[in-house]
């Protein structure tokens, strides 16, 4: 019968039950497995984190377990661990080749690009396809330097997770994204028809309408949000005032 574990026993917590020489073996295991894995990653062609596809992310997760176990578990033979790592990398390489040769396989494995914004309006269908909130979409656009939805002609969420933004040559008044809503919420219009410039937009998706066509508290026909705010352009001079 195993002896009961003594809580907060420092010798067990920090040193364990292994011989001191085993720590040198851990160093050897770590260096060997790390070097072997690095060589395989270099062979399949490494990508930056921002460029990770679905199968690349799966590769990272799978390798994390295989590499970690082999570095400090004494009952895990190194050759077995190296075989597991090799098989994982070969599967990844095979899927990469399949994706290169077949558009259908690419759509099944990596997914497809989704339209997030069109003509200054966040698309509800695009958000729903990737389970995104309007706040997340706005944050993605701000990361690309977009201060107002009226600047955006089209924006796509790519299969790999990146966002492509195509700007309008001549921006039109739209929903301001700066500052973020959790810093300074947009000012809702109690009576949309009284907007000074004659245009209002939904505070959620940015759908723009002529003010006289919008009634108070009437939900946006695109996303169902009942709040409206004045459509505006975000001038460069206003950006400097936020610093």
pLDDT at residue number 164: 93
Exposed/middle/buried for residue 153 (C-beta within 10 Å: 0-12, 13-18, 19+): middle
For residue range 14-29, list pLDDT tens digits in order: 777 778 788 888 888 8
* Topology of the domain covering 114-241: CRO Repressor (3.30.240)
- Sketch the domain layout of the chain as residue ranges: 10-107, 114-241
For residue range 46-103, list pLDDT tens digits in order: 554 445 666 777 778 778 878 888 777 777 778 878 888 888 888 888 888 888 888 8
For 45-177, where are the alpha helices, taking DSSP H only? Answer: 54-72, 78-101, 103-110, 124-129, 134-143
For residue range 105-141, list pLDDT tens digits in order: 877 777 788 999 999 999 999 998 888 899 999 999 9
Angle between helices 78-101 and 103-110 (to 10 degrees): 130
pLDDT at residue number 48: 46
Helices and strands of the chain, counted as H and E runs: 8, 7
Determine contact, residues 158/169, Cβ cutoff 8 Å: no
Q: Is the pLDDT of residue 2 over 70?
A: no
Determine contact, residues 55/107, Cβ cutoff 8 Å: no
pLDDT at residue number 239: 47
pLDDT at residue number 47: 52
pLDDT at residue number 200: 87
Gyration radius (Cα) of the chain, Å: 27
Q: How does DSSP classify residue 138?
A: H
Q: Is the pLDDT of residue 172 over 50?
A: yes
Name the 3-class secondary structure at 136: helix
């Amino acid at each position: 019968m195993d002896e009961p574990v003594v809580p907060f026993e420092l010798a067990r917590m920090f040193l364990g039950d292994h011989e001191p020489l085993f720590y040198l073996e851990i160093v050897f295991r770590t260096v060997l497995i790390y070097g072997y894995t690095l060589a395989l990653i270099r062979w399949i062609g490494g990508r930056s984190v921002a460029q990770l596809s679905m199968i690349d992310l799966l590769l990272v997760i799978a390798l994390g377990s295989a590499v970690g176990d082999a570095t400090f578990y004494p009952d895990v033979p190194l050759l077995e661990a190296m075989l597991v790592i090799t098989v994982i990398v070969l599967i990844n390489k095979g899927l990469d080749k399949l994706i290169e040769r077949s558009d259908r396989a690419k759509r099944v494995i990596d997914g497809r690009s989704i339209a997030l914004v069109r003509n200054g309006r966040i698309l509800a269908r695009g958000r729903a396809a990737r389970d995104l909130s309007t706040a997340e979409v706005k944050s993605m656009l701000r990361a690309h330097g977009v201060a107002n939805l009226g600047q955006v002609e089209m924006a796509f969420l790519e299969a790999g997770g990146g966002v492509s933004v195509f700007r309008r040559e001549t921006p039109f008044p739209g929903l301001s994204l700066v500052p973020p809503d959790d810093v300074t919420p947009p000012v809702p219009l109690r009576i949309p028809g009284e907007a000074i410039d004659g245009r209002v937009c939904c505070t959620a998706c940015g759908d723009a309408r002529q003010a006289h066509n919008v009634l108070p508290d009437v939900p946006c026909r695109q996303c169902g949000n009942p709040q409206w705010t004045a459509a505006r352009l975000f001038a460069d001079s206003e950006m400097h005032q936020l610093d």
